[in-house]
Amino acid sequence: MKLNIAVIKGDGIGPEIVTEAMKVLDKVAFVYSHEINYKEVLMGGASIDAYGIPLTDETIEVCRFSDAVLMGSIGGDTNTSPWYKLEPSKRPEAGLLGIRKALNLFANLRPAYLYRELSDACPLKKEIADKGFDMLIMRELTGGLYFGERKTVTENGIKKAVDTLTYTEEEIRRIAIKAFEIARKRRNSVISVDKANVLDSSRLWRSVVNEVSKDYPDVKLEHMLVDNCAMQLVRDPSQFDVVLTENMFGDILSDEASMITGSIGMLSSASLNDTKFGLYEPSHGSAPDIAGLNIANPIATILSASMMLRYTFDLDKEADDIERAVNSVLSDGLRTADIYTDGTTKISCSDMGDEIAGRIGK
């Protein structure tokens, strides 16, 4: 298969971790007889330095005509970087918001998986952590409260702020379809999270999700109120497979889920549109304080590349191989600085990429 991938290495540690992910992808291509064509473009701070803006039309077009985008971290030190002396619309993160809008990336996927070898870093009780968990939070990314009309007014001498939470049935339907399709690649279970006991938008959400579920009789559907879901994530995260929810709830729940894994350096993510196209990136930031030191953890980016193979290219076997290689490295006690503990072996960012690539196809 020919894979056309746009590459945005980004800022801070971004170039280092993306380079290692590309190393692993190249090994996958060699072992499984695929051809990868990379096209590198700039976004974020690197684009500001080169072009004066965080996102150019050229970058958008290259990404649009690629099969997928592999991206590193965007941004810098908000206290010292000259990028953050610019108006908000010209700062690095504006590029990320811009590309999501330009490419219609409405479905955000955030896996949360507890590696047995890293279970001591999990903040939950040992008896809970020992059960393990492997969930994927699917967050609607372009609608809801964050994108509704908002205003602040003064009425009778008192300030009042208004934020509007709006969803159409089509916005709900398309994210629900994605959730059920992806559940078929996992364990055939969807828990849809809402606040249907209070909000009209949630009642519509639940109604549309129920309609969509009729086309997926092999996938089990449950509904859960958001406050209960927040509690259940720390009480028994092993019960979750695919968690489907709206924008604000997903923002909060995905951060909660990331914390119980014990290390954000291990967490991948994807943002998809209504085709197979997706933008794949690590969940963590650009860590400018360690940029260039070759000590960053590339595993989140490598796992993002695995998600790309699975969800954009339907190369499940190859994706499984990357995930198996990551598990193998951890089982052998190899660690980057952020996940190092006594009794394990500390290795560099590039060495971690070498070790994972070396296990592909074995």
Candidate list 113, 195, 311, 321, residue with the active-site label: 195
| Active-site choice (38, 146, 340, 346) | 146
Report the SS3 class of residue 9: coil
Is 251 tagged catalytic?
A: yes
Question: Which one of 255, 274, 314, 332 is the catalytic residue?
Answer: 255
Distance CA 244, CA 202 (A): 12
Among residues 144, 134, 66, 137, the alpha carbon closest in space to that of 99 is found at: 66
User: Residue 57 catalytic?
Assistant: no
**To which H or E segment does residue 140 belong?**
strand 134-140
Tokens of 319: 């994706």
The single residue of 11, 194, 241, 251 carrying the catalytic annotation is 251
- How close are the terminal C-alpha atoms of the chain, in Å? 21
3-state secondary structure of 213: helix
Beta-carbon count within 10 A of 351 CB: 16
Catalytic-residue membership of 316: no
Token pair recorded at residue 354: 């070498």
Alpha carbon of 183 to those of 11, 106, 242, 287: distances in Å?
Answer: 33, 17, 6, 33
Half-sphere exposure of 221 (CA within 13 A, CB side): 23
Of 273, 269, 232, nearest to 253 (Cα)?
232
Task: Tell me, yes or no, if 255 is annotated catalytic.
Answer: yes
For residue 150, what are the β-bridge partners? 163
Nearest to 121 by CA among 341, 270, 272: 341
* 195 DSSP 8-state letter: -
**Is 227 designated active site?**
yes
Catalytic option among 130, 215, 227, 236: 227
Just list the catalytic residues: 146, 195, 227, 251, 255
